[in-house]
Chain A
């Protein structure tokens, strides 16, 4: 990794949401002090948590991550750094020149990056998100310069069409084509909107891009605004992302001061004013017409289409909405060319996709992979597989609109069309892995609880239908399921899908349908045998140790928080049901699945 040799002492501390939560601020302060004590000239930069190979980032499970740059030497990354470790690292490594091997990242850390292709996230972490100068020093705002100097709006649209870029918000609509609709709509005033209302549980790609490289998104929006002919724009960001909001505000101010936003951008007559709108907490606002209603100050309820926003959107004017990641792809398409971009990925899904990998997988975090990689590669090569030697059961792709795929479909390639065919969807990119201690009926119940709560109530099938489905799922998980419930769920699901106005209702039944499709036996076990194979529905779990499966290791005895388990070395554990509070700690921790 010779390219990272530099002339100065530098310490890069992960300061993303996860980095800060793991103690990044304290670690940084400790470094500042230790360098001062050692009398070393140090430049300590705050860095973000999603990054390129050397700076790691993206591997939030190992936070706090720290890179140490010593003049003339290769950068070294340390994992799980705490403030207490800092004086030793500075003394032995920085002063003494000896890497502290026991804390330095091992091979498995680098494996996480080996299978990735980081293009959109290339500069995330390389640049200081709060410094426009640093962004410019890394080639920032070069794409918009090229666009304004050398290209007509039509040429930009043509280039984006040729690149094959499809919307990263989930639907996968071709971006260039979407722009054409808005560009061809009559009217002087058109709006460009960036959808940063990342509401899917299990997704944090957009947050990471905005926190790590906000100017990249602004530059992407400038390119789109020029191509479509928009003078006004909004970034609609979730209120639940306080750090992202702070960084966007700063970036907007800096870009305006430097003449990248406002009137006469870069000395041309191109004009673009960009504003930040904070969301107020409603999942449905990720739907573009609901988002528009919310910017207008209304209840965020979807509107029927047509007319599409491209014709009649924000305040009745032609509007174009794209997702954060879509915008972040644009500068590199312009700079490297559509042909280069189209060479990555599959025939119909071009480029890379960023995923948020979480759940029962060893390396949780933010990853970027080329389209076409299989689900198996994603979980086992990049993510390192399932922890605690558990067996893989299912993977949930695409959030509440997506679906659960079983082991037999692990070789499905990740592209828009293959995932839809399998019953899941790309969605915004959340990937949640589940092992054998998870119950698929419970998971379906979980997702439907979410969509039912977030239904705006406009369409009756979605409002009442999801509630009825939820009631059925609830009784199944409680062991009160009836013969015919599965068929009832399927029929309700179909009705809701075809008769809802917006994407929320049209896709809300997907988690139920895919779990029925691939894990019907689990539903049947709940209904017919009153048994929960994942042992997650506590009302169906007996909390008894299976003598033949118990290896007498005593782990359950140690983890029980209420001392309900008795055990002696060499003896089968016993659970006292009068004390047991059914917290499932024993089930989750037993390596032999001996508790049922």
Chain B
């Protein structure tokens, strides 16, 4: 993890109130004594809290008897672990081959134009996160994006912009 990311993590944790970590203990308990527990535990803790804070990681380490350094080593290796809070809507822009050939680079630019966020960044109101992913596996309808679990295909910069604005205008 880059120094910038650690700094971001520290800053964001200051504004976030104390988080109840009891779920971490419960998840770890399910895996006590099992081999290969690290990744499933990290996945489930992240699913519960939305991201992995330094406190959560340290708590997992205590539970599984693994050093936090080792956990950081594992989680920073994989693309799907996040150490900072994520937006309410995660926009995944597919940057796979088929989407690239059909102009997905422009779709990412539209996200930047609309919300001012680049790849891996979250808007300051915690509403949107942009994530460029390597392939969603829906190449038949390239270019493709996913917003949370919903997939949108056959995009143009303009209809993508309309979809983004629809989400931006959604009532809380």
Residues of A at the B interface (CB closer than 8 Å) are 17-18, 20-22, 59-61, 63, 198-204, 207, 239-242, 277-283, 294-301, 315, 356, 358-360, 364-366, 396, 399, 430, 432, 434, 438, 443, 446-447, 450, 454, 456, 561, 583-585, 588
* A281, B98: Cβ atoms closer than 8 Å: no
Contact for B103 among A358, A365, A584, CB less than 8 A? A584
* A241, B137: Cβ atoms closer than 8 Å: yes
Q: A18-B153, A364-B98, A399-B97 are in contact. Are A300 and B78 (CB under 8 A)?
A: yes
* A358, B81: Cβ atoms closer than 8 Å: no
Q: Which residues of B have CB within 8 Å of A199? A: 134-135
Binds A, one of B1-9, B18-26, B37-45, B121-129: B37-45
Contact for B36 among A60, A295, A366, A432, CB less than 8 A? A295
Q: A21-B152, A280-B78, A588-B103 are in contact. Are A240 and B97 (CB under 8 A)?
A: no
* A299, B141: Cβ atoms closer than 8 Å: no
Residue of A nearest to B152 (CB): A21
Residue of A nearest to B136 (CB): A240
CA distance A434 to B157 in the complex (A): 20
CA distance A279 to B74 in the complex (A): 12
CB of B88 within 8 A of chain A?
no
* A358, B157: Cβ atoms closer than 8 Å: no
CB of B140 within 8 A of chain A?
yes
Contact for B97 among A22, A283, A359, CB less than 8 A? A359
Residue of B nearest to A449 (CB): B95
Q: A281-B80, A294-B39 are in contact. Are A203 and B135 (CB under 8 A)?
A: yes
* B101, A360: Cβ atoms closer than 8 Å: yes
Q: Which residues of A have CB within 8 Å of B157? A: 561, 583, 585
* B141, A201: Cβ atoms closer than 8 Å: no
Q: Which residues of B have CB within 8 Å of A283? A: 134
Task: Name 13 extra pairs, CB < 8 A, besides A21-B152, A60-B140.
Answer: A17-B137, A18-B153, A21-B151, A199-B134, A201-B134, A202-B139, A281-B79, A358-B139, A359-B139, A446-B100, A447-B97, A584-B106, A585-B157
Residues of B at the A interface (CB closer than 8 Å) are 35-40, 42-43, 73-74, 77-81, 95-98, 100-103, 106, 133-142, 144, 149-153, 157-158
Residue of B nearest to A315 (CB): B35
| Distance to closest chain B CB from A400 (angstroms) | 8
A-B contact pairs, 27 of them (CB 8 A): A18-B138, A20-B151, A21-B138, A21-B150, A21-B152, A22-B153, A59-B140, A61-B140, A202-B96, A202-B97, A202-B98, A203-B139, A204-B135, A204-B140, A239-B43, A239-B80, A277-B39, A277-B40, A278-B39, A280-B79, A282-B77, A301-B77, A358-B142, A359-B98, A396-B97, A432-B97, A432-B101
Residue of B nearest to A234 (CB): B36
| Distance to closest chain A CB from B84 (angstroms) | 16
| Distance to closest chain A CB from B162 (angstroms) | 12
Q: Which residues of B have CB within 8 Å of A282? A: 77-79
* A18, B141: Cβ atoms closer than 8 Å: yes
Residue of A nearest to B78 (CB): A280
Residue of A nearest to B31 (CB): A297
Q: Which residues of A have CB within 8 Å of B137? A: 17, 198, 203-204, 207, 240-241
> Total A-B residue pairs with C-beta atoms closer than 8 Å?
149
* A204, B101: Cβ atoms closer than 8 Å: no
| Distance to closest chain B CB from A337 (angstroms) | 33
Q: Which residues of A have CB within 8 Å of B39? A: 277-278, 280, 294, 297
Q: Which residues of B have CB within 8 Å of A585? A: 157
CA distance A447 to B98 in the complex (A): 12
Q: Which residues of A have CB within 8 Å of B96? A: 201-202
* B135, A200: Cβ atoms closer than 8 Å: yes
| Distance to closest chain B CB from A285 (angstroms) | 9
Q: Which residues of B have CB within 8 Å of A17? A: 136-138, 151
Q: Which residues of B have CB within 8 Å of A366? A: 140
| Distance to closest chain A CB from B40 (angstroms) | 7
* A434, B135: Cβ atoms closer than 8 Å: no
Q: A61-B141, A280-B79, A396-B97 are in contact. Are A359 and B102 (CB under 8 A)?
A: yes
Q: Which residues of A have CB within 8 Å of B35? A: 296-297, 315
CA distance A61 to B39 in the complex (A): 36
Contact for B140 among A294, A297, A364, A399, CB less than 8 A? A364
| Distance to closest chain A CB from B58 (angstroms) | 17
| Distance to closest chain B CB from A335 (angstroms) | 29
Q: Which residues of A have CB within 8 Å of B80? A: 239, 279-281
Contact for B138 among A204, A295, A588, CB less than 8 A? A204
Q: A207-B137, A280-B39, A295-B36 are in contact. Are A430 and B97 (CB under 8 A)?
A: yes
CA distance A161 to B74 in the complex (A): 39
Contact for A298 among B74, B79, B101, CB less than 8 A? B74
| Distance to closest chain A CB from B79 (angstroms) | 3
CA distance A278 to B142 in the complex (A): 25
| Distance to closest chain A CB from B130 (angstroms) | 16
| Distance to closest chain A CB from B29 (angstroms) | 17
Q: Which residues of A have CB within 8 Å of B97? A: 201-202, 358-359, 396, 399, 430, 432, 446-447
Residue of B nearest to A278 (CB): B43
| Distance to closest chain B CB from A274 (angstroms) | 15
